[in-house]
Structure 1
């Protein structure tokens, strides 16, 4: 286990903007390359015309809920609206049915995607110069980008096979305080983490909740992939396990419906939260900040998302069942292809086998960074994401994130074959 010190992204190699620019340029320069770089949802399941045609369902629901005529309801949906959102009741019902999360509509603020929810929480909670964010490394680039843009340091911790997550977290807290910093929030993707694809066990979740409650730290539980489980039994969300009032749940319909809606949300617990602020007080702070940034989340986007929920009796399980099957098939194709491509190198090349999500991680016996990613694109026709792009320290230098969501089995097999050719050439060169 290694515990890097708290620091901003500007001190960790190239900036996130440089990384994203590099990836965009590689994708543009080699448009025919097979991409394992992007964790986008599969587009063939977008049904825009049918979803838009269901809009009257939400108009009728909104009119009934507010005692309005249909024309008045339609006009209000097209107007500026309530900052916290107009579909909170439907979100609460969907969370209860699909995630086992029990909350009231008044605990929810609807945001422009989960990214806005993260930004609001970070900027509202980390307001003192000594406040910092805690995060596992490697971490989703969205949270590190928010930290960089707002000048908020991140104290990363790396969890390995010999160190329980709660123990690594406690050590990171001690190190941060020794440096004069105040850990204010912990960011986690407990289910099928981006970029690693790993899942936190129930015990690990409970232990980390206990550590954070004891140390006055708020947990941001980001859960975009939780419903995309292909094997095994689901683990309860940290929000549903939380008896300490320290977990804020972040959700989105970008993966379960489509990203173009830009509808996400934050669910704030009831009662007193770490730091002495009430959940209601935090929700008010988020709402006030949002009112000066985006005013309100697109009510037309909310109406479409709400209509889809109404048409599905507020559960998305039936809607995403064929999507889950598609992703499971893709994951299996990637695992089988990796086993075939690296059968001669099983002693030095390895990968995890995720039970869900969009990603897995390949471990190589050499460093894989920008130069290697560009060689793969230019000479072998395959786009990949070095795990070091997500690292907050020196970890991940010999690992690669592979996304299998937005592809097809045949392309996956061809792409992994090309990646195998690159690895074979590199290993053959080293041996000679």
Structure 2
């Protein structure tokens, strides 16, 4: 059974905070290594050259909306701005078109990337030392980093099959409560999870909502990869399925437009746990925390995003169509390479086939930690992420995460060939 990880007293927190430094150092030490470590969007689709055009497009809209002259609009854009953002209504229209999410501008707070949205939500929802966050392990390093840096304890639970999710979630909640702790939030990436690439079916999402609503646990639904679906019908977001007011939707334009913009957002339910005044209070608390943290999200960056949304008639479907096809081709190349290198040698590895996103995971017949990661990079010139880096307990030491987003078919094929040589050389000898 998983134990509570208290980030104030336990070593695992400091270990997690070293992960990104470790990977950056390895990448720098072994620049010839083919990397499957970084979950970055494909750089070939960035379009910074059009930023000026997007700003001009937004300025016209901004001037008309606020009854300003163009010069005055530019001056206001260059000033300190509204804490909650200036493109809130544009975001609400875009996610209505692309995600079928119904919300108004007052429910949106624009943040400096989704990372700030996570930080604001966790620190606001968990002000007391007894407040804790629930998270399935393995999970995204970004949320564990936010929790660790702010001294917010994490309660991990494992779940290998979707139908077990609520059972394990309930057990983790009871475990925390028995220790005198208060679960205040559940963090999830329901679509093409980082690191696993897995998705939650609709039935599981609905069960989670019912459980969390009854316990007044806020669900933080992080959805950076949802628009990159390769096959199967889209599953409604948890925010869309939520009729109880327990889901906060976290989004970003880092993957769809450009990471350097650092524009993300959080969308609050209109009635938090059925009460509008609670939602208003939470938004006020988030806004106040942001005002003392980053003051406001860069208005120039917001203008670029706003210009893109205006130009694209409030939908990113056309923009992501080319990238989605690219990511699907890379995924298919990776699956084929794994099958070619490991499928017929009598020591088959196990891997999943994600229906979208940037990642898949591979289970190995031996432990793969930071030590093996460095050997792999140094001696075999291929860099992969130990799944243990994403774990909140002592599990997942026999797995790796492979990112296929920011690479090419040629590098994928050669990289998996190198990885096969590493695996063969490190196979345990049968008794």
TM-score bucket (shorter structure)? over 0.9
Q: What is the TM-score of this pair, normalised by structure 2?
A: 0.97
| In structure 1, distance between residues paired with 2:304 and 2:129 | 41
Residues 185-204 of structure 1 deviation map (CA, whole Å, 9 limit, x = unaligned)? 00000000000000011000
**Cα distance change on mapping 1:421 and 1:13 into 2, 3 Å:** farther
Spell out the pairing of 1:15-414 with structure 2 (5 A cutoff): 15-161=15-161, 164-273=164-273, 278-345=278-345, 348-414=348-414
Question: In the aligned structure 2, how far is the partner of 1:277 from the partner of 1:363?
Answer: 47
Task: Judge which range, 355-364 or 51-60, deviates more.
Answer: 51-60
Q: 1:376 to 1:111 in 2, by over 3 A?
A: same
Over the aligned positions, Cα root-mean-square deviation in angstroms equals 1.6
Residues 217, 274 of structure 1: 8 Å contact kept: no
Corresponding position: 1:3 with 2:7: no
- Verify the 8 A CA contact 2:270 2:276 in the aligned structure 1: no
Taking a change above 3 Å as real, the CA distance of residues 178 and 35 of structure 1, as seen in their structure-2 partners, is same
Tell me the alpha carbon deviations over residues 129-161 of structure 1, each in whole angstroms, 9 at most, x when there is no partner: 210000000010000001111111000110023
The 10-residue stretch of structure 1 (8-17 or 332-341) with the greater mean CA deviation from structure 2: 8-17
Q: Which sits farther off after the overlay, 344-353 or 165-174? A: 344-353
Shift of 1:51: 3.1
Q: 1:164: Cα distance to partner?
A: 1.5
Query: How big is the shift at 1:17?
Result: 2.7
1:402 match: secondary structure = strand
Contact 1:348 1:365 in 2 (8 A): no
- Per-residue CA distance 1:312-367 (angstroms, 9 max, x = gap): 00100001111111100000000000000102356641100000000000001111
Gaps of 5+ in 1: none
For residues 61 and 224 of structure 2, the distance between their equivalents in structure 1, rounded to whole angstroms, comes to 26
Q: Name the CA shift for 1:276/1:347 in 2 (closer, same or farther; >3 Å).
A: farther
Determine if contact 2:221/2:247 at 8 Å carries over to the other structure.
yes
Counterparts of 1:113 and 1:292, CA distance in 2: 17
**Contact between 1:270 and 1:278, CA under 8 Å: does it hold in 2?**
no
* CA shift for structure 1 position 34: 0.3
Give the secondary structure class of the aligned counterpart of 1:135: strand
Instruction: Please give the per-residue CA displacement for 1:375-416, whole angstroms capped at 9, x wherever unaligned.
Output: 110000000100000100011110000000000001000000
Task: Give the Cα–Cα distance (whole angstroms) in 2 for the partners of residues 271 and 199 of structure 1.
Answer: 27
TM-score, reference length from structure 1: 0.97
Whole-angstrom distance in 1 between the partners of 2:305 and 2:24: 30
Any stretches of 5+ residues in structure 2 without a counterpart?
none
2:54–2:305: 8 Å Cα contact kept in structure 1? no
Contact 1:6–1:132 under 8 Å retained in 2: no
Q: How many angstroms apart in 2 are the aligned matches of 1:346 and 1:177?
A: 47
In structure 2, relative to structure 1, the CA distance for the partners of 1:413 and 1:54 (3 Å cut) is same
Name the CA distance, whole Å, in 1 between partners of 2:4 and 2:252: 31
Q: CA deviation at 1:280?
A: 1.2
SS at match of 1:356: coil
